[in-house]
Amino acid sequence: MIKTLLRQVGQYRRDALLAPLFAALEVLMEVLLPFVTAAIIDRGIQAGDMAQVYRYGALMLVLAMLSLCFGVLAGRFSARASAGFACNLRDAMYCSVQAFSFSNIDKFSTAGVVTRMTTDVTNLQNAFQMILRIAVRAPLMLVCSMFLCFFINVCLSLVFLAAIVVLAAALAAIMLRTGRIFEQVFRRYDGLNASVQENVSAIRVVKAFVREEHEDEKFRRAADRLYRLFVKAEGLLALNSPVMMLVVYGSILTLSWLGAHFIVAGGLTTGQLTSLLSYVMSVLMSLMMLSMVFVMITMSAASARRIAEVIDEQPDLAQPARPDRNIPNGTIDFDHVSFSYRHGSGEKTLHDITLHIRSGETVGIVGATGSGKSSLVNLISRLYDADTGRVCVGGKDVSGYDLDILRSQVAVVLQNNVLFTGTILDNLRWGKADATEAECQAACRAACADEFIRRMPQGYHTRIERGGANVSGGQKQRLCIARALLKQSTDPG
């Protein structure tokens, strides 16, 4: 899974490397500031030497400016890398879905794919950006601050170690609980999106049967289940802040009390105690930032798995090693063909079908609803593969043909007719990309669609709304028939 996702960084690899580099330089500048502050107090203020105050003050200003510049650059490169990473993920998933066979598509619901391309990718984008900046910045700040603390005073630095152990144990317990909850959250997202998609696409049916209240209640239940899971997860995550504050203020009080004794005994200077107090905040804030990273990684781990599932899914129908690109004629043969949508389930949609259709012959296949008429047609263009037996076109097994060549020679008008957003001409040219307007008009006349198209305000340039919402069911059917007829003149290449 990790390799699959990292491959999608692609052309943004340079940005992904520069972001942590500048984040590390930003940390380096920041950890030196308390050290310089101690020098100002001990060598300048307490010694009454204003020249030292000015000298170290100028050094602090330079360090602060450098830290600002490095931070801006780290933020810029991490934003570019994470946004590009998200773009590549969406593109990789979309390309993967386009290569799916029908059996692959059946594994993923439409709502599930949409959730993966939106919510899941956004989660992974945010996590990737945090990893590039905070996951580099926080551990480095922690290590550098601890090193300088031990350099100043070993005994007082043990307070840090105790605080780290307590805080790490508390955060680990919280993360383990929330991780399991977020797994359920994203599954609920699929259900919620499915409810919205189904309702919006079938809104005419909902209103025709006066089922608005029923649909509202169904959606409310799905949203409420998601709400309860989020409240449970966020309630656990809310413990981060009070636990953090308890450890921070406990460390400051302990450090102040012990530091005062060391100053009185002469084992510590005022400037060094000030630096230690700054470093304790840096250490514990670094732990807090790491906890935020863990939260985001916990949330995005489920998303990462769901995204990798789509990208890694291998099409069930592979191109043959040496595909045949020549289809001699339109003869169709079914030789003892059996087929099931779930291979090995024993539930046969088609059982022992033997059929011969000569090239140019017109055949009607009649049967009850669910008898497998559409399934039989889908086997011809190899949208599915038969479980047993052979399906041949032009006397050759369809499994030996180039998939694109084979499908370009089969025109289908489905029961659920689909039109795409664009003009009528755009939709007709799905059948033949380079078709002239005259060819499109001829196909529409054959499909009895030319008459109603010419009555439209812009004729063949009329825009079809999403899903063909601005044409009737019969008009949509005729446009799809015209599209299929236009495909007959397509050159297989």
Condensed to tens digits (0 to 9), the pLDDT of residues 260-319 reads 777 777 667 777 777 777 777 777 777 777 777 777 777 777 788 888 888 888 877 777
The reported pTM is 0.66
Question: CB of 282 within 8 A of CB of 139?
Answer: no
Domain coordinates in residue numbering, the chain: 2-312, 332-408, 422-489
Instruction: Kindly give, in sequence order, each residue whose CB lies less than 8 Å from that of residue 53, ignoring residues fewer than 6 positions away.
Output: 40, 44, 45
Q: Which CATH architecture has domain 332-408?
A: 3-Layer(aba) Sandwich (3.40)
pLDDT score at 335: 92
Q: Is 460 in contact with 441 (CB distance < 8 Å)?
A: yes
- 475: closest CA among 435, 427, 411, 412? 427
Token pair, residue 244, equals 């953090």
End-to-end CA, the chain: 38
Q: What are the backbone dihedrals phi and psi of residue 333, each rounded to the nearest 5 degrees, phi first?
A: -130, 130
CB 261 within 8 A of CB 180: no
Contacts of 15 (CB under 8 A, 6+ apart): 77, 78, 80, 81, 84
One fold for 2-312 and 332-408: no
Distance in angstroms (rounded) separating the CA atoms of residues 212 and 51: 79
Q: What sign results for the dihedral spanned by CA atoms 226, 229, 235, 240?
A: negative
CA torsion sign for 177, 180, 181, 182 is positive
Name the phi and psi angles at 24, rounded to 5. Answer: -65, -40
Q: What region does 344 belong to: left with phi over 0, alpha with psi -120 to 50, or beta?
A: left
**Are 132 and 16 a contacting pair, CB within 8 Å?**
yes
Task: For 225-257, write each residue's pLDDT tens digit.
Answer: 888 887 877 777 777 777 777 877 777 787 777
What Rg value do the Cα atoms of the chain yield, rounded?
33
The closest of 332, 343, 441 to 386, measured between CA atoms, is 343
Cα–Cα distance, 416 to 267 (Å, whole number):
84
| Fold (topology level) of 2-312 | ABC transporter transmembrane region fold (1.20.1560)
| Amino acid symbol at 179 | G
**Residues of the chain whose pLDDT is less than 70?**
46, 179, 183, 186-187, 190-191, 197, 201, 204, 266-267, 343-346, 488-493
- Strand segments (E) across 343-489: 350-357, 388-393, 396-397, 422-423, 463-464
Q: Name the nearest CA neighbour of 276 among 296, 258, 264, 293.
A: 258
DSSP 302-364: HHHHHHHHHHHPPPSSPPPSS-B-------EEEEEEEE-SSTTSS--SEEEEEEEE-TT----
Instruction: Provide the token pair at 430.
Output: 């799905």
- What is d(CA 200, CA 113) in angstroms, rounded to the nearest whole number? 17
